[in-house]
Amino acid sequence: MILQYVRTNAITLQIDDIGLNHLSQKMQRLEVDIEKHNRAYVDMKLVELKDYFDHVMDDIDSNIKLDDEQRRAVIIDDNHCLLVAGAGAGKTTTMAAKVKYLVERQNVSPQDIIVISYTNKAVDELKERINKRLKIAAKVATFHSFAFDIIRKANADSPEVNFTSYDIIFDMLAKEIFDNKQLMKNLVLFMGYYFDLPNDVFQFKTLNEYHMYKSALDYENSQERFG
């Protein structure tokens, strides 16, 4: 779009053919050049800060050593950095190291850092490592508590949970869905992407019997298990 504008207005902009071709070539390989530059920058920082990363977690445990992928995740400062890792792979350690790196090496104020996780368990672990062990006063919260704080700051009256909404949902399930086996099956298949549903779900006699069974289970959502 920009290139087309320049071509259309080349005379007005006083750009000759050589300059236009040079610009065209630059624009065509811009993304590749940016990616190449960023990789080179990260590689340079890995070498430059090797000793720092070798000991970045000493305040927590001197035996904790970041691997190459963890170090790259800490250094990269893209707007979006997606880390995909299984349980016990070191996600919490990486996040703690990232916060320490931002404060110590990038001069970011702890007050400008917000660490958000899905579960209270993960938040407690992050607070233990970041706030207590590393002594960095960054805010650590779940999505829900962080959103609740924002609402409370904007409104003098704290929001209240409308527990009657549960009755609305249960009534809808009981009256509109449970007796419709195909619709119920579709709902179960959909929810199966997020929860561990029993294979014999359709063998329960009543919706209440199914809910009583599920309420007795100690399950966690898929984000916490694999996140």
Which tens digits make up the pLDDT trace of 80-138? Answer: 888 888 778 888 999 999 999 999 999 999 999 999 988 899 999 999 999 999 999 99
pLDDT at 226 over 50: no
Phi-psi region of 138 (alpha: psi -120 to 50; beta: other; left: phi over 0): beta
57-66, 69-78, 199-208: lowest mean pLDDT where? Answer: 199-208
CA distances from 28 to 19, 131, 136, 155, 170 (A): 14, 46, 43, 50, 56
CB 131 within 8 A of CB 103: no
Q: Which position has the higher pLDDT, 211 or 63?
A: 63
Tell me the pTM.
0.61
* Phi, psi of 117, rounded to the nearest 5 degrees: -135, 175
